[in-house]
Structure 1
Amino acid sequence: MSGTPPDRVRLTTRERLILLVLLGAGFMFAVDFSILNVALPDVAAGVGLRRTALPWVTTAYMLPAAGFTLVFGRLADLVGRRRLFLGGTALLMAASLLGGFATAPGPLLAARVLQGFATAMATPAALSLLTSTFAEGAARDRALGLNGALLSGGFTVGALVGGSLVSLLSWRAAFFINVPVAVLILATAPALLVEGPRPGRVRLDLPGAVAVTGGLLTATYAVIEKNWISGAAAAVLLAAFLALERRAPAPLVPLPVLRRPTVAWGNLGGLVAFTMEPAMIFLLTLYLQGTLHLSPLATGFVFGVPGLASIGAGVLAGRFIGRHGARRVLTAGLAVQGLATLPLLLVGTSRPTALAILIPALFVGFFGHVSAIVAYTVTGTSGLPDAEQGLATGLTLLTQQVAVTSGIPILSAVAATRSGELAGTHLALAVDVTVTLVGAALIYRGLRPRTPATPASPAPPAGSAIAEPPAFMKPSAQPATLA
């Protein structure tokens, strides 16, 4: 990305504070995503929610979080990233108070919907503030590496903290814990974050926004509920969105952006990473508790100890990218994620043997997974101007939301084709390995450096000036840095 070695990156005090605020916000939203998962039975008992309706506690959050991420990412470019970031943080605080004080299913589900909206507002704005604050190169790579480490750590901490809070206090504490963090961010961020320049007289592409939001909402609902009618409606709406974008004078998503190799292949890398790894963790959770009969707390520790590798990977990934390029780190990370899953095909009903295989494999796999996450974020947001960083980060976060939402139902459906639970888990893990490794190979080829062919031209007369080649053909151009 930049000629400066990543080890020599020096940040000013202001940049360190900005990094602290934005990473703290990202960590809070990551914790919020997973903190309620272990508390769902207590939540149902506390508000009188039927156990059959428990999935809607998660669905109510995921629908707006996935459906509106792209629109809010583009809005951040048009109306201001700082404004949307602060607004989303304030909305999360209000929604957390509503959920914490809820005594009936209606207010609780409304709080989860609002938390999903807050996530869609704040996370692309925060990530675009991060990428626009730190110039493309070693500083941004390091910042995104730390962001990946804290996001991964947030998901793990959310599960562990959620269980502890429920045990020691109440499920309501899982909502209330957001409030002091949000207050601290709202008190410090306005003095640190500067609103960047916004394009003048550019209006939101309303038809495109309606079509893509409707398409993503129905697609997410179709995956969660396995509803084929909604899936067909989503396909129609998304096709209509592409048709609208081709004719819109100021499209929500300029199609040339989607055709950029870094955007297309980078987000494919994120799709593979986030579809396969969380689904694998879900299947292994069922295996650990159903086949090996581990307690929820013991299961948390099985994932928590290897989870330390995620934090290390996030810290080191930026340095790897600075030295080897995002293309190599992305594909190597995916290859490590896939190959580390391969030994899990050997697990059986013996607890000591299974744990001896699982823990080292998860440690290596989590390291590769987070390295791939950082590299896909760097790849998907590179080579674009600051005016489109909200769109770029919105696309990367949308990829994450769609992948996490769809991966678990897909691999669960694969596992369900076998009569035995262990046989189904083995089949699903084999599919996981295959998809991840094939994806890594395709992405490595798709991100290969491209040098446009230039037609032969007559030699210039002696003594005439020779035009300098365009910037994208120079060795330091963006495609070359991905190698």
Structure 2
Amino acid sequence: MTGRQRTALAVLLTASFTLAVDFSILNVALPTIGADVGFSLANLQWVATAFALCAAGFTLLMGRVADVAGRRRMFLVGMVLLGAGSLAGGLATTPAVLLVARVAQGLATAIVVPAALALLIGTFAEGAARDKALGLNGSLMAAGFTTGAVLGGLLTDLLSWRWAFFINVPIAVAVLVVAPIVLKEDRARDRTRLDVPGAVLVTLGLLALVLGLTTAAETSWTDPVTVVSLAAAAVLLALFVAVERFVSQPLVPLSMLTRPTVAWGNIAGFLAFATETSLVFLLTIYLQEVLDYSPLAAGLSFAVLGIGTVLGGLLGPRIIGRFGAKAAIVGGFLVQAAATIPLVLIGQTGTSIWLVLVATFVGGVANLVIIVGFMVTATSDVPASEHGLATGLTTMSQQVGITMGTPVMSAVLAASVVAASAASETEAILDGVHAAIWVNGGLCLLGSAAVAAFLRRRVQG
């Protein structure tokens, strides 16, 4: 890498990591935020939901806008929005202002992450250097989710939850100073019209999907809001596919989705993020409700997972270079399943923490190998004019995976607890965690089998 490439990579990774941290940094602090700002317990979940709705709902549209308007320009716009939203959130004294701030942060994520990935791909030619850059990006994005939980606990305990917002402001300013110097403007050579009907339908469809999933996590799968939202999502996304068949310049050319690398790469990415982030949720419940850990201690227990993800991000490009991305994804899912399934042996004794630490470390390494393989696969053989679209798809897979995994595992856990005949509530929760872990490990095995069977092309790094 040249010096300019290294600096550009540092800028892009800093922005992406910061936004990944924002996804979970407030989770531990929610009760404190509710007391300080005036949220009722029933409405507190909107602090997280407002962010997730915008981050997942608008990412595909913003990836395409970046292709048309310019990726560097949109990257800078997103960082301005992140800084402004974070400052507003840190100063918020009412629920309305705080929610507006979280919406701004979610929109910033939808703008910055696909633009940053497209700029990263454009900065490095296909091959070892790009694979290494994608590996670092994937490891930091995945580690950001865990880091957010740890950092949120530290800031809330030592300073104030407001610093979970304020910390973004100097980062955004630093990126805005350096980015115009080291990033080259990059946009599609052929100016195309934006597919407005398709953009409206897919954005509304994704918003309805994420709303339905997050409502299911907070209430139940039979909640009227959940049912109506998921039904609306199915109708809107079906209409989107129909529209894309007939417009002359579609938002998502359906031919792209028929490419095995794009389709199965994104399916693998969706499963990778859904399984690992939901496992963090399950183990958080276990550590706090069964082993009686404090929120901060539970967060710190995932530090080994963060180390594993960084290591996996470094190993991923080497594995891909030697065996190909398909083998990396298939093998990664098998190792992740082998690390996840033994967690059904965790119990009510404190010694179970050692199994948790070993399993999350090994699973973290494997998960990041999958994520690097997914990034390389889903963005290979894509024309330069569609880099923003391809990275928008990968970002959408990531955000929807993070959002969908937790409510699915939460539903399995809740159903098991209701059906349990355990002697105590603690034992019932433990049985529910065990049941959800079986499902989580099974999804890893399913992902491995599906990619092995259907991703026939050997994507080389």
Tell me which interval the TM-score lies in, with the shorter structure as reference length: over 0.9
Aligned to 2:123: 133
Q: Secondary structure at the match of 1:351?
A: coil
Letter in 2 for 1:102: A
Alignment RMSD, CA only?
1.2
Aligned to 1:415: 413
Are residue 445 (structure 1) and residue 453 (structure 2) matched?
A: yes
Query: Which whole-Å CA distance do the structure 2 matches of 1:391 and 1:365 have between them?
Result: 30
Describe the shift of the 1:151–1:277 C-alpha distance in structure 2 as closer, same or farther (beyond 3 A).
same
Aligned to 1:327: 326
Aligned to 1:463: none
Task: For structure 2, list consecutive stretches of 5 or more residues without a partner in the other structure.
Answer: 217-225, 421-427
Listed one character per residue, the Cα deviations across residues 159-209 of structure 1 (whole Å, up to 9, x for unaligned) are 222212112221111111000000000001001111124333411000000
Aligned to 1:384: 382
Q: Larger C-alpha radius of gyration, 1 or 2?
A: 1
Aligned to 1:118: 108
Aligned to 1:431: 439
Listed one character per residue, the Cα deviations across residues 410-459 of structure 1 (whole Å, up to 9, x for unaligned) are 1111122222211111111111111210211110121123xxxxxxxxxx
Query: Which whole-Å CA distance do the structure 1 matches of 2:116 and 2:415 have between them?
Result: 41
Aligned to 2:373: 375
Are residue 275 (structure 1) and residue 274 (structure 2) matched?
A: yes
Aligned to 1:4: none
Aligned to 2:220: none
Query: Which whole-Å CA distance do the structure 2 matches of 1:378 and 1:163 have between them?
Result: 34
Letter in 1 for 2:460: T
Task: For structure 1, list consecutive stretches of 5 or more residues without a partner in the other structure.
Answer: 1-10, 450-478
Query: Which whole-Å CA distance do the structure 1 matches of 2:148 and 2:284 have between them?
Result: 16
Are residue 207 (structure 1) and residue 197 (structure 2) matched?
A: yes
> Higher mean Cα deviation, 123-132 or 222-231?
222-231
* TM-score (normalizing by structure 2): 0.94
Letter in 2 for 1:264: A
Listed one character per residue, the Cα deviations across residues 202-245 of structure 1 (whole Å, up to 9, x for unaligned) are 11000000010010001111111131111111111000000000
Aligned to 2:348: 349
Query: Which whole-Å CA distance do the structure 2 matches of 1:27 and 1:413 have between them?
Result: 29
Describe the shift of the 1:203–1:427 C-alpha distance in structure 2 as closer, same or farther (beyond 3 A).
same
Are residue 65 (structure 1) and residue 60 (structure 2) matched?
A: no
Query: Which whole-Å CA distance do the structure 1 matches of 2:159 and 2:293 have between them?
Result: 24
Aligned to 1:36: 26
Aligned to 1:455: none
Q: Secondary structure at the match of 2:301?
A: helix
Q: CA deviation at 1:480?
A: 5.6
Q: CA deviation at 1:136?
A: 1.1
Identity %: 52
Equivalent residues in 2 for 1:82-481 (5 A)?
A: 82-226=72-216, 227-352=226-351, 354-418=352-416, 419=420, 420-449=428-457, 479=458, 481=460
Query: Which whole-Å CA distance do the structure 2 matches of 1:56 and 1:306 have between them?
Result: 27
Aligned to 1:47: 37
Q: Secondary structure at the match of 1:481?
A: coil
Letter in 1 for 2:47: V
Q: CA deviation at 1:28?
A: 1.2
Query: Which whole-Å CA distance do the structure 1 matches of 2:411 and 2:30 have between them?
Result: 23
Q: Secondary structure at the match of 1:416?
A: helix
Query: Which whole-Å CA distance do the structure 2 matches of 1:480 and 1:170 have between them?
Result: 47
Aligned to 2:424: none
Listed one character per residue, the Cα deviations across residues 66-99 of structure 1 (whole Å, up to 9, x for unaligned) are 1000000111111110011000000000001111
